């Protein structure tokens, strides 16, 4: 199991910079390719939104303004991409067969952002998403949900500031569910090369399924000895206890099973932890469902 291609959808410079640093760090770690993707809005999509009551000239002006703004944003992101890749000394260009060095490319597509990101993510080993709170970027939150719920692939939530390392000390948030198992499977390439691995579990977080000790035994089959630690809620908040335990371990990567939108009850049970982590995480979080 190796990681060879990362996808990074970007929508604004405010949220993209830290995620770009994280993506290039991972590309260097795996000698992989990072595809940075920017989706430009299709100006024709504003016509149905504008609705009736506007003249043709007004709609035309709105479309022109959308085109100008979209072009300016794309140019700013492309300039940021070239600046950071030059700083990180990563080759720019398409991935080549047999290439054993990190590389990166910048792609611009036009259309529905959530749909195109999900489609591109389906053929990526891992999609890196900027933190929604970095620059308060709503589009970053949309990208996160598009990958999580419509790609069938794992997603890595980048921290708000560029991380110093990723995957040296890995924590696995384990609650026995199929979502946690999916996140564990996605994290195994990182687990196998980590300096230390810890499985975090809690009676307040656990659901029927394999125990944390059984997870440690499974990981041992892959040649990695993992520590098992129990954590408890802080001020009755399970997510706060989980994040505190990860910080105590000195983690620079967390694997977390995401909640499902299919069940309101399941969201009430698991969604609170997921939401807390998404809103408060200062380390990269690898999620799957």
Task: Tell me the pLDDT tens digit for each residue of 80-133.
Answer: 999 999 999 999 988 766 678 999 999 999 888 888 999 999 999 999 998 877
Q: What is the pLDDT of residue 270?
A: 41
Residues 251 and 233: their CA atoms lie apart, in Å, by 18
Q: What is the pLDDT of residue 59?
A: 59
pLDDT digits (tens, 9 = 90+) for 48-71: 555 555 666 665 666 666 566 666
Q: What is the pLDDT of residue 56?
A: 64
pLDDT digits (tens, 9 = 90+) for 252-280: 999 999 764 444 444 444 457 888 888 88
Does position 182 have pLDDT exceeding 90, yes or no? yes
- Containing 200, the helix (H) or strand (E) segment is strand 196-201
> Domain spanning 169-288: which CATH class is it, in words?
alpha beta
Domain range summary for the chain, segments of one domain joined by +: 5-157, 169-288
Q: What is the pLDDT of residue 49?
A: 52
Residues 126 and 155: their CA atoms lie apart, in Å, by 6
Does position 142 have pLDDT exceeding 50, yes or no? yes
Domain 5-157 sits in CATH at 3.40.50.620
Cα 172 to its chain centre, rounded Å, is 16
Count of Cβ atoms closer than 10 Å to residue 278 Cβ: 19
- Containing 145, the helix (H) or strand (E) segment is helix 138-150
């Amino acid at each position: 199991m190796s990681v060879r291609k990362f996808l990074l959808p970007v929508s604004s410079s405010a949220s993209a910079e830290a995620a770009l640093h994280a993506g290039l760090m991972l590309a260097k770690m795996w000698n992989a390719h990072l595809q940075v993707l920017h989706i430009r809005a299709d100006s024709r999509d504003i016509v149905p939104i504008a609705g009736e009551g506007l003249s043709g000239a007004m709609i035309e002006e709105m479309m022109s303004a959308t085109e100008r703004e979209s072009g300016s944003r794309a140019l700013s992101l492309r300039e940021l991409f070239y600046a950071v890749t030059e700083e990180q000394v990563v080759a720019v260009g398409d991935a080549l067969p047999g290439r054993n060095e990190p590389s990166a490319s910048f792609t611009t597509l036009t259309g529905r952002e959530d749909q195109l990101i999900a489609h591109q993510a389906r053929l990526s080993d891992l999609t890196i998403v900027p933190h929604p709170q970095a620059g308060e970027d709503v589009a970053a939150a949309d990208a996160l949900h598009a990958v999580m719920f419509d790609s069938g692939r794992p997603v890595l939530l980048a921290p708000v500031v560029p991380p110093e390392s990723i995957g040296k000390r890995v924590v696995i948030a384990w609650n026995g569910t199929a979502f946690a198992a999916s996140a564990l499977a996605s994290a195994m390439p990182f687990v196998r090369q980590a300096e230390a691995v810890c499985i975090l579990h809690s009676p307040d977080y656990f659901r029927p399924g394999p125990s944390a000790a059984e997870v440690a035994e499974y990981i041992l089959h892959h040649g990695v000895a993992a520590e098992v630690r129990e954590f408890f809620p802080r001020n009755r908040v399970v997510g706060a206890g989980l994040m505190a335990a990860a910080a105590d371990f000195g983690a620079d990567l967390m694997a977390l099973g995401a909640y499902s939108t299919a069940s309101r009850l399941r969201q009430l049970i698991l969604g609170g932890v997921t939401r807390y982590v998404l809103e408060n995480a200062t380390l990269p979080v690898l999620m799957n469902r």
